[in-house]
Amino acid sequence: MNHSTHTLIVGAGPAGMAVAGRLSRLGIPYLLLEKTDRVGSTWHEHYERLCLHTAKEHSNLPHREFPAHYPVYVSRLDLIAYWENYVREMGIQPLFGQSVQHIQRHGEGWETRTQTDVFYSKNVVVATGYNRVPYQPHWPGQELFQGQLLHSKDYRSPAPFSGKKVLLVGMGNTGAELALDLYEHGAQPVISVRSPVNIIRRDVLGRPAQRTAIMLGKLPTWAYDFIAKMVQKRTVGDLTAYGLPPSPYAPSEQLRRFGKVPVIDIGTVDLIKQKKVLIRPDVERFYEQGVVFKNGESEAFDVVIACTGYRAQVEDFIEHGGDLLNERGYPRSLWLEEPEWEGLFFCGFATPLSGILRNIKLDSEQIVERIVRKGR
C-alpha cells in the first residue's frame, strides 16, 4: 500500500515521540513508523532494575512533565508508563509493525519502503537511535566454551545467575550496573576491561551530576575539562590498584574526542574497592571452562555476558547512508546542507554528558523549527 505525508518519522522511541509530539502540537501532518508493537520498545526489553541516570526534570518529552510523584531518577516501568500516556495525551498514533527496509531520494522528497508499504514524504526524520543493533564480538575458541555466553541485551534479572561466577566483558554503564545487580543477588561478578575507563558518580554531595554537567557546559572546554577531572579525582579516586588505570582524559574531553560515554556510578566503584567486584584485563580467547586474558592468565566462569554495546547502522537502510556518517558510525549532524540530503533529519544519536533525553528534547526542537522554516 502507498501512503503520502508531509513528514515521516522512523522509530517510536523517545526521539521519534519527541518529534511527533512537537509536530502534533503545531498541526503539521506526519506519520510515525515503529517496527515493533509498542512505543519505547527497547526499554520494555532492558534489564529489570534499570532506571534513568539523569534527573527527571531534564528527561521528559516536549510539552509534558513527569508526574510529580515520580522520583528524581525514573524507573524503567515508570518511564514506559509515561511514554504510553504521552502518545495518548498528544494524539500520537504510531503505525506499528512497520520495519523500514530502504529509504531513498524520490524527486524533491523521499521514498521509504517497509516490508508491506511504501511511504512518500517531503521530510524523513530517522529516530532509530545509536543503540539499534547489538554488537557481539567473536572471540577465538568461544565455540568450545561449555558455560553460557550471551549479550547484555538478553539479560533481564540476576535470578538465573545466583551462585554463579559471571564475567562481564566491557565496563560501560551496562557492565558496571549488571555487576552491581549480580553481586546484590548472590552471583560472583568479574569485569573484563580493555582500556582505561572514565567514571563519575551519579550524585555528588546530593546533587545529580547531570545538573553540574549542564552548568559546566556553559564554560570554555578547557575549564570544563579541568573541573570535571578534579571532581572525578576527589569523588572516585585512583583505581589503579584494583586494575582500573585512570584515563588520560577528563570525562568531558574523552566524550568530546572519542564519543566514549563515562560510566555513571551508582555503587559499583565501592564494590570494586571492597574487592567484591574484581577487574580483569581484556579477553584473548575462550577455552572449555572459561577465558584466557590478554595477560596470559586463565580463569573459569559459569557465564560470560558481552556488555559490548550497540551500533546505529543507519547505512543498513538509507541509500548511500555511509556518506552521512562520522568516524564513530553516527550521522554527522541533525541534517546535512548538501542538496541531495535536503529533508533528511536525524534525532537521538548524540550522547552528551548533559543527558541523552535532554538532548533529544533540544534537538527535536531544532529539527521541527527547520521543517517549519522549509515549509514557509
Cβ atoms of 306 and 295 closer than 8 Å: no
Q: Please state, for a pLDDT cut of 90, what percent of the chain lies above it.
A: 79
Q: Full-prediction pTM beyond 0.95?
A: no
Which CATH architecture is the domain 2-132+312-375 placed in? 3-Layer(bba) Sandwich (3.50)
Give the pLDDT mean for 296-320.
94
Question: 46 vs 52, 70, 152, 153, 254, CA distance in Å?
Answer: 12, 20, 9, 7, 26
- Domain borders along the chain are 2-132+312-375, 134-306
What is the C-alpha to C-alpha distance for residues 247 and 285, in angstroms, rounded to an integer? 25
The string of pLDDT tens digits covering residues 78-104 is: 999 999 999 999 999 999 999 999 999
DSSP codes joined into one string, 150-187: EEGGG---SGGGTT-EEEEE--SHHHHHHHHHHHHTT-
Cβ atoms of 358 and 218 closer than 8 Å: no
3-class secondary-structure state, position 310: strand
**What pLDDT, on the 0 to 100 scale, is given for residue 150?**
96
Give the pLDDT mean for 319-343.
90
DSSP tag of 46: S
**What pLDDT, on the 0 to 100 scale, is given for residue 352?**
85
Give the pLDDT mean for 141-155.
96
Buried-exposed string 292-302: b where 16+ CB fall within 10 A, e elsewhere: bbeeeeeeebb
**What pLDDT, on the 0 to 100 scale, is given for residue 206?**
81
Average pLDDT over the chain, rounded to whole?
94
pLDDT-derived band at 376 (thresholds 50, 70, 90) equals low
Give the pLDDT mean for 155-169.
97
Element (H, E) at 279: strand 278-280
**What pLDDT, on the 0 to 100 scale, is given for residue 213?**
87
- The fold of the 134-306 domain, in CATH, is FAD/NAD(P)-binding domain (3.50.50)
CB atoms within 10 A of CB 354: 20
Query: Is the pLDDT at 151 greater than 90, yes or no?
Result: yes
Query: Is the pLDDT at 261 greater than 90, yes or no?
Result: no
Query: Is the pLDDT at 116 greater than 90, yes or no?
Result: yes
Residues near 160 by Cβ (< 8 Å), separated by ≥ 6?
none
pLDDT-derived band at 211 (thresholds 50, 70, 90) equals confident
Query: Is the pLDDT at 319 greater than 80, yes or no?
Result: yes
The string of pLDDT tens digits covering residues 120-139 is: 999 999 999 888 999 999 99
**What pLDDT, on the 0 to 100 scale, is given for residue 349?**
93
The string of pLDDT tens digits covering residues 41-71 is: 999 999 999 999 999 999 999 999 999 999 9
Give the pLDDT mean for 213-238.
90
Give the pLDDT mean for 289-293.
97
Helices (H), the chain: 14-26, 41-45, 76-89, 173-184, 209-216, 221-235, 251-258, 268-273, 356-375
What is the C-alpha to C-alpha distance for residues 157 and 199, in angstroms, rounded to an integer? 24
Q: Which three cell numbers stand for residue 34?
A: 515503529
**What pLDDT, on the 0 to 100 scale, is given for residue 329?**
84
